[in-house]
Structure 1
Amino acid sequence: MVRELLRQLVEGPLAVRLRRFVAVGTLAAGIQLVLLWLLVDRGGLNYIVAAFLAIETTIILQYVINNAWTFHADRKTNRWPYVYGLVKTNIVRGSAIPIQLLVLYVLVNFGALQYLVANALAIGATGIYRYVLDARWTWS
């Protein structure tokens, strides 16, 4: 599965879309980490609560960018299809939130990792899951 995913990054009909999805995800991961740091270190929130807020913010950001760029051939342009797509991506990506938060919690509390490093790893751990569901359901 990983080998096939890596091959699709450089060749095949899904290569451009997959590279764009990864680029948007990388940008969003960076923004999520900055938001997490701001909410925890500057805002004084618990890292799990802050992670939830940062994740939801980047879910919306990623939908906007992916709709306009990554899945432009299938993009939602009218109001209701756009809102419906946003709801669908929130369901898809929202279903990954408990997984990401669990990985974050385990890495911080049992792996003794710093919360930002743990969150970056948790983002990576849920990336394929989010791509497959978004590609097959949100923009289907």
Structure 2
Amino acid sequence: MLRRFLRAILVGPEAPQIRRFFLVGTAAAAFQTAMLGTLVEVGDLQYLLAAALSIETTIILQYGVNNRWTFHASRHDGWREYANGLLQTNIVRGSAIPIQLGVLYALVSAAAVPYLVANGVGIVISGVYRYLLESRWTWG
């Protein structure tokens, strides 16, 4: 499955869309990581609560960018269609939050990985899951 996915990124008909999705995701991951670090280090929030807040913020931001750029051919234009798409993306990405937080928690507690590094690993692992659902359900 991973091999097929990597090949699709390079040569498949969805290749430009996949690359855009992951480019948006990379920018959002940087933003999310900065927000997470700020909330923990400056705001003195517990890292799992800070992660949940930063994840939801980036869900909303990513939906807007993905709707306008990544999935522009099938973007949601009207208010109702946009709101429905935002709800769908929250369901998809919300279902990925336990994956990301689980990886974060496991790496921090069991392997003593720094929380910002562990968060990055969680983002990558949940990213493949999110793309598969987003491309087929939210904008399918």
Alignment TM-score, normalising by the size of structure 1: 0.98
Question: 1:52-75 CA distances to partner (integer Å, 9 max, x unpaired)?
Answer: 000000000110000000000000
**Aligned partner letter, 2:23:** A
**Alignment-derived partner of residue 20 in structure 1:** 20
Matches within 5 A, 1:1-140: 1-140=1-140
The alignment's C-alpha RMSD in Å is 0.6
Q: How many residues get paired?
A: 140
In the TM superposition, residue 125 of structure 1 has moved relative to its aligned partner by 1.1
Structure 2 portions without partners, runs of 5+: none
Aligned partner of residue 13 in structure 1, secondary structure: coil
Alignment TM-score, normalising by the size of structure 2: 0.98
Question: 1:41-92 CA distances to partner (integer Å, 9 max, x unpaired)?
Answer: 0100000000000000000011000000000000001000000000000000
Structure 1 portions without partners, runs of 5+: none
In the TM superposition, residue 12 of structure 1 has moved relative to its aligned partner by 2.0
In the TM superposition, residue 17 of structure 1 has moved relative to its aligned partner by 0.3
User: What percentage of residue pairs aligned between the two structures are identical?
Assistant: 56
**Aligned partner letter, 1:13:** P
Whole-angstrom CA distance in 2 between matches of 1:43 and 1:16 = 38
